[in-house]
Structure 1
Amino acid sequence: MNFRALMMTKEYDFLRTNERLGSRIILLGLGGSHAYGTSNENSDVDFRGVTLSLPSDLLGLTRFEQYEDRQTDTVIYSFNKIIRLLLECNPNTCELLGLDEDQYLIKTRLGQELIDHTDLFLTKRAVKSFGGYAGAQLRRLQNAIARDNMEQTERERHILTSVKNALYDFNRRYGTFSNGSIRLYIDEALNPELETEIFVDASYTHLPLRDYEGMWATMSNVVRDYDKIGKRNKKKDDNHLNKHAMHLLRLFMMAFDILEHGQIRTNRRGDLELLMKVRQGGFQKADGTFQAEFYEIVADYERRLEEAAENCTLPAGPDMEKVEAFVEYVNRKSIETGTVQEMFS
């Protein structure tokens, strides 16, 4: 696919016409499966980038974090925001600094300088960030498989556990709220199509409406997610499961690159045989679960991550003096020059 030609189509006019983008974009590249090298004929095109803030964002009252165009799956971060994310070794933003040269669609001098400063952001925080994202992928995979293979009664119990987990933070904050109570439990179903279902006994007074809405939205989302099982499209859902499984391994692989070699390598061309086998269902059994071999790979990667964390020579955290100096340098360029184009003329 010719991504540069795609970028110039009318669908992407916002890249050229939006006052916060246009000549202020210093970096734009591929995201998602096209960046990893794991795309197939059904893969969406994702663009990710970085744009300089307007002087009013840095000196005045305006504020800008990121620009998102959902129609084209494009996300462009402000320079300051991507720095904050990179300081935490956020996997979704680290990827932008590790693309192949031909995967960048826009790369100005300042964009190259950001890439050249990658070392500032490579720290032991990658253990928690990449490991955390991988853990979330594993839980998502396990939950989806569990939902598909449980009897209805057991699935309701699983829903209850998930609801309680989702509400943990809320209960921690409002557990001592004197003017109310809430109780969740499983009982014989009133719905004739179910054997059991979750019930709630709740009584609150003087509870802020936003807190009330947030609590019920959380429970509703969990139940809605599980209720989809009865209407599942097996082929589509299996594709999603395999994609989750693939990204689980990919996150570990990228963490190893950072912790063991001090580099970000987004394109996984050397790992494609394993990753594509996972994506294409090579480890999935007929009942939707995964073969023991897949979980053995995951366990091995988890052990390797622990070893990499122990033996890693990267600093525990970033050198903030150097980071602040670089951020100030770039933001001064943004303020002192009328347009970014003048910097590169």
Structure 2
Amino acid sequence: MVLMYEVEKWLENRIILKVYKGSHAYGTSHANSDVDIGGVCIPPKPYLYGFYSFEQYESKNYTNYPGYKKTGLAADTVIYGLHKFVKLAFNCNPNIIETLFTDRTHVLHCNSLGRMLMDNSHLFLTRRARHSFGGYAFSQLRRLTNKLPMEESKSKISKLTENEKNLQIYAVRLEHKITQYFQKEQLTQDDIQDILNLRSELASVEQRLAAIEEDRAEIERLMRGGNHNHHGSHAGIIEKYGYDVKHAMHLIRLLHMGLEILTEGECRVLRPDNNYLMAIRYGKFTLDQIKQEAGKLFSLLDEAYANSELPDSPDAEKVNQLLIDITEASFADAAWET
């Protein structure tokens, strides 16, 4: 396990792409909108060759972006390691695809390595968009009127925290065992196999820890209404409009984007339909109208999937070579010039 303060020592200097996310990227922001930032980094060689691992960095108090000194508003930020980012992009993960196709006006930083990644973004647009964008949209649909009881939420978080603590202790013990092997003057073949097994187990533990963090973040989002910090709680918005208008906006946005990918082979993050989306956000439509529109769009998404000329999945060989090329290029000092 790698401590975040260690990652923060090198993170900024290893970022290859950093963009605005969320409402600022969609063109649906307003004066009180939160700031969301996403990006990609290539960790130093000890994380590429050694037994240190890095998948992503998360912070709700990120300040290294233009405008912070003016607003004083810290950004909710996720920076992925290149390998995890590409794996998620391979599955047409909406959050990752949006990062790749962010409008250039919302790109905060992109060096030559980031450009290599963005220049090949269309490799990741496939018929998988039906299941990824459609799946995310269905999740938004389910949340339109969902109020998670406070006591139930606290109980779930308590259990997750307890499991997290136990896994963290186990991870430290695994790391200690691995370190002990490297104190030997010479490693036997059995030692090497033991180290590989321990690393595999440690990777599994870290995946479980990441899953716990995602589950906890989702429960906390439901408790407070996601990032509804300036506009009341999740439950409060439902009380006001009869349903969660923010989820409704993202429901329609995701379906529109999925349709555009399948029919046009394009992903427009800066939304041309932003006025319509903002009308949804401010409760101009009834819940029945939203559900009816969503039903039509889901049907169109199925039709688009059946007729799409996109490949079923990315070309694995091309994606793998891209990952190799970017990683190898990162070893040259010139690659880190903007």
Q: Could you tell me the TM-score, scaled by structure 1's length?
A: 0.65
Report how many residues are paired: 247
- Give the greater-gyration-radius structure (CA): 1
In the alignment, which of 278, 281, 304 is matched to residue 280 of structure 2?
A: 278
Whole-Å separation in 2 of the counterparts to 1:61 and 1:41:
45
Structure-2 change in CA distance of 1:280 and 1:112 (3 Å): same
**Cα deviation digits, residues 272-312 of structure 1 (max 9, x gap):** 2221111001114xxxxx1x322221111011101110110
What residue number does 1:246 align with? 249
CA distance in 1, matches of 2:36, 2:234: 26
Report the CA distance between 1:339 and its aligned residue.
7.6
**Equivalent in the alignment of 1:20:** 10
Task: Give the distance between the partners of 2:309 and 2:269, measured in 1 at CA.
Answer: 21
Match of 1:52 in 2: 42
Q: 1:337 aligns with which of 328, 332, 335?
A: 332
Q: Is the 8 A contact 2:26 2:274 kept in 1?
A: no
Structure 1 alignment gaps of length 5 or more: 1-13, 149-158, 164-209, 226-230, 285-289
Alignment partners' CA distance in 2, 1:236 and 1:141: 8
How far, CA to CA, are the matches of 2:59 and 2:42 in structure 1? 17
1:182 aligns with: none
The answer to whether 1:65 aligns with 2:55 is yes
Whether the aligned pair in 2 keeps the contact of 1:31 and 1:48 (CA below 8 Å) is yes
1:247–1:68 Cα change, 3 Å: same
Q: 1:118 to 1:233 in 2, by over 3 A?
A: closer
Q: CA RMSD in A?
A: 3.1
Name the structure 1 match of 2:108: 105
Which of 70, 95, 98 in structure 2 is aligned with 1:95?
A: 98
Q: Contact 2:40 / 2:85 at 8 angstroms: preserved in 1? A: yes
Deviation per CA, 1:44-87: give whole Å up to 9, x if none: 00111111121111211111011111122011111111001100
The alignment-based identity, stated in percent, is 39
1:83-139: CA deviation from partner (whole Å, max 9, x where unpaired): 011001111111111111110010111111111111211111111111100001101
The one of 275, 292, 296 equivalent to 1:296 is 292
Q: Cα 1:136–1:232, aligned 2, differ >3 Å: closer, same or farther?
A: closer
- Relative distance call for 1:233 and 1:295 in structure 2 (3 A) is closer
**SS of corresponding position for 1:299:** helix
2:237–2:244 contact (8 Å) kept in structure 1: no
Q: Give the distance between the partners of 2:239 and 2:254, measured in 1 at CA.
A: 21
Q: Which amino acid aligns with 2:332?
A: T
How far apart are the structure 2 equivalents of 1:233 and 1:140? 11
> 1:318 — aligned with what?
314
Aligned to 1:171: none
Letter in 2 for 1:294: I
